[in-house]
Amino acid sequence: MKKPIFRVFISYEIKSKKAVTRKVTTGTLDTFVLTSNINEIKKDQEIIDRICYLNKKNLNKVDITITDIDIENQYGETTDRFDDEY
């Protein structure tokens, strides 16, 4: 079954758990997701891991807050790699 592919812009904030001053790092991630449900996108572990990777942070040492999600448009559908018939 084909799933729709959406392009999203995710705005986020990264705060250190240890620092007293808690300097906030902000950014925007431009990526593709398979759902338009904002709650599912906020809880997606792959997106949180991707934010940590791009900012060279360890997930155990920082707090990540997703501030805004902008779903731009549907860009297509996934391909059917496996047919139902054999």
**Per-domain residue ranges of the chain:** 4-75
Note the pLDDT of residue 82: 64
pTM of the model: 0.80
What is 25-85 written as a DSSP string? EEEEEEEEES---HHHHHH-HHHHHHHHHHTT--GGGEEEEEEEEEEEEEEEE----S-S-
Instruction: Read off the pLDDT of residues 40-86 as tens digits, 9 standing for 90 and up.
Output: 999 999 999 999 999 999 989 999 999 999 998 888 888 876 665 55
Within 10 A of 84 (CB to CB), how many other CB atoms are there?
Answer: 6
CB 76 within 8 A of CB 6: no
Instruction: Read off the pLDDT of residues 23-42 as tens digits, 9 standing for 90 and up.
Output: 888 999 999 999 889 999 99
For 4-75, give the CATH class. alpha beta
51 φ, ψ (degrees, to nearest 5): -65, -45
